[in-house]
Amino acid sequence: MRLIKDIYYLLLDFIYPNKCIVCKRFVGHNDRSICSSCWENFDEMPKQNMVKELSVNDGIDSAFSSWNFKNGFDDVIHYLKYNDMAKLGKELGYRLGKNITPGDFQSIDSITAVPLHRVKYRDRGYNQAEWIGKGLADIWQIPFDKKILKRNRFTISQTTLNKEERQANMANAFSVEKDVKDKSILVVDDVLTTGSTTSACAIVLKNAGAKQVHVLTLSAPSISEN
């Protein structure tokens, strides 16, 4: 049975060669999107609580990120969000869950994701943060619940906004849909910059009775670039 499976994957690699999304070189495993060489070239962030380095950190008890938003990892994020590669998020969630562990946080009862507005979800077809959270939950064996948070209104892209504009853009953008009283919630997203989006999530979670709110993302600019 194993031999048949090996032959199947060899034929699959021959007919549809699996290429690394970053360097375009052949990847020998069809369940992987990034080659080992590119993983080695990605710049890992120091494993430290970044919450004090965020421009906006209201409600956030701790914030961690795994890879610097450069050296090709910015291309990975672009693929994740804009190239119809939802399952890449789960693959990245696995990697994230191995780099950063539950022991890096005080406690976590549930994992959730920064939600997309229904218009953006319809256009993209998936929420990349949800897939990251699913991969993370599988590795950590901690429940993932995508329905804890709801995005109430459409917000424009944060990319070109300054700190004050980002805060105004995210004001009243989220609500809590589940009981979070006395619970420690981990909010997952793809990139952490000023913290305005995750802070908006943290504030409504704390107002709903959450004991702690932690943030974990795949990537962030280096602290000196924030």
pLDDT band at 5 (very low <50, low <70, confident <90, very high): low
Does the pLDDT of residue 10 top 60, yes or no?
Answer: no
Average pLDDT, rounded, for the chain: 88
Given this model, what pLDDT does residue 224 score? 42
Residue 116's nearest CA partner among 105, 124, 108, 107 is 124
Q: What tokens were used for 3?
A: 């031999």
Report the greatest alpha carbon distance in the chain: 60
Selected residue with higher pLDDT from 40 and 5: 40
Q: What tokens were used for 149?
A: 């948070």
Q: What tokens were used for 205?
A: 């979670």
Domain spans of the chain, in order of start: 1-41, 43-225
Residues contacting residue 68 through CB under 8 Å, at least 6 positions apart: 42, 43, 44, 45, 219, 220, 221, 222
Selected residue with higher pLDDT from 24 and 223: 24
Selected residue with higher pLDDT from 50 and 9: 50
Residue 162's nearest CA partner among 52, 56, 50 is 56
pLDDT in tens, 153-191: 877 666 667 767 777 777 788 999 999 999 999 999 999
Residue with the two structure tokens 């060669």: 17
Residue pair 116/124 in contact (Cβ under 8 Å)? The answer is yes
Residue pair 100/45 in contact (Cβ under 8 Å)? The answer is no
* C-alpha to C-alpha distance for 197 and 185, rounded to whole angstroms: 15
Which of the four CATH numbers 3.40.50, 1.20.120, 3.40.1360, 3.90.1570 does domain 43-225 have? 3.40.50
Q: Is 164 exposed, middle or buried (0-12, 13-18, 19+ CB in 10 A)?
A: exposed
* C-alpha to C-alpha distance for 73 and 76, rounded to whole angstroms: 5
pLDDT in tens, 116-128: 988 888 989 999 9
Q: Which of 21-30, 133-142, 164-173, 174-183 has the lowest mean pLDDT?
A: 164-173
pLDDT band at 225 (very low <50, low <70, confident <90, very high): very low
Does the pLDDT of residue 11 top 70, yes or no?
Answer: no
Residue pair 139/98 in contact (Cβ under 8 Å)? The answer is yes
